[in-house]
Amino acid sequence: MIRAFLLATALTLPAATAIAQEEPGRLSLTATGEVQVVPDMATVQSGVVTEARTAAEALNANSQRMNAVFEALAEAGIAREDIQTSNLQINPVWSNYSAGEQRRITGYQATNTVTARVTELDELGGTIDALVASGANQIQGINFAIEADDDARREARLRAVAELRETANLYAEALDIELGGLLEFSESGGSHPQPPVMFARAESFAADTPVAAGQLTVSVTITGVFEIED
């Protein structure tokens, strides 16, 4: 289904008072072309959060569990170059506030998060299960994307141009004006993914966790300025 929307219009007519060099009237229109596409890849952010008495102990426990996470990703068919550490932190754990007592450090928390690129979406649910089974206790989100959107972007451009032409002709007829050449033209736009699927501090998942990829919107917005002939 074609989805192209008129975002804004502006009409400027020549000034009533003649000046040395009269500016031509202009009709400025903006239109958007959109194409719905099915994503063909996803990125998953997962990691391990551990706590211990000292920072070294927290990091050591975290490292052991993260090695298992890396192994699980490898067994799921995720290439090493598609895995990237996105967050590594060690933070103190403070005691609760109590009247008359100062807060103190009771331990340390280590957090290690990796982002994995998954190109086989049919195996995404199984990959999540494997991550949790290996020791990951934090799934921060899943973001779907399109690896190559050239064809979709081309179609979105064609739809935007068709809408721009149709709207320009409609205004010309309604206002009883004659349009001249195209004076200005610009483009903007991009992919608009669905909100990411979020999992916070996951402890366990059922086998074959269901994950729906949905659709992504590739949109292109164009602005054209037409001359209004006398």
Q: What is the pLDDT of residues 15-24, one digit of tens each?
A: 333 333 456 6
134: three-class secondary structure by DSSP: helix
pTM above 0.75, yes or no: no
Name residues whose C-beta falls within 8 Å of residue 138's C-beta, 6 or more positions apart in sequence.
46, 47, 48, 49, 111, 113, 200, 201, 202
Q: Give the rounded percent of residues in the chain with a pLDDT score beyond 90.
A: 63
**Mean pLDDT, range 128-136, rounded to an integer:** 92
- Dump pLDDT digits (tens) for 100-120: 678 889 999 999 999 999 998
